[in-house]
Amino acid sequence: MKRSLRSVVLLLVVGLPSLVTAELEYEEKERATHVVSGTVEKVFSRSSGDYIEHVALVRIETKHRGEFPQHQQHMYVYSFDLKPGVTLSEPGPSGHKSPPAEGANVKVWAIYRTGEMYGLYPDWFEIIPKKEKDPKE
């Protein structure tokens, strides 16, 4: 009896924290099916419960990884993040980092799933600094 009680207590102590966090697994950049560099032309956002869903329209300038139709010049990338100030009532993911600003030069890591591109979780892009023009030009 004492042994089974110890087992239950141990299970609760060890297993409960993993159930409470329910965070999504972080995805390594090597898992990305598509990697591109380009410019964010538009970011569409909508409220959905405790989250904000985003779709970033990226004009592709360089295709680093993945198969694309020859004519494809743009890519839509889906992501989400937690609304500011929201504390989840139930365990759940905290979301991607907020999307880049429109006009930003970015390198994007995405995974193709169910016909759509999803930003790698949680860090799906890096800002590429804009090159300053040479004053001699």
For 116-129, b/e burial (b = at least 16 CB within 10 A) is ebbbbbbebbeeee
Section 38-50 average pLDDT: 95
Section 36-51 average pLDDT: 95
Instruction: Locate the domains of the chain by residue range.
Output: 26-127
CATH class label, 26-127: mainly beta
3-state secondary structure 76-89: EEEEEEECCCCCCC
Over the stretch 54-67, which tens digit does the pLDDT of each residue have? Answer: 999 999 999 999 99
User: How many whole angstroms separate alpha carbon 33 and alpha carbon 124?
Assistant: 12
Least confident of 53-57, 97-101, 114-118, 133-137: 133-137
Higher per-residue confidence, 7 vs 131? 131
In the predicted model, is pLDDT for residue 5 greater than 50? no
pTM of the model: 0.76
Among 70, 44, 78, 76, smallest CA distance to 58 is for: 76
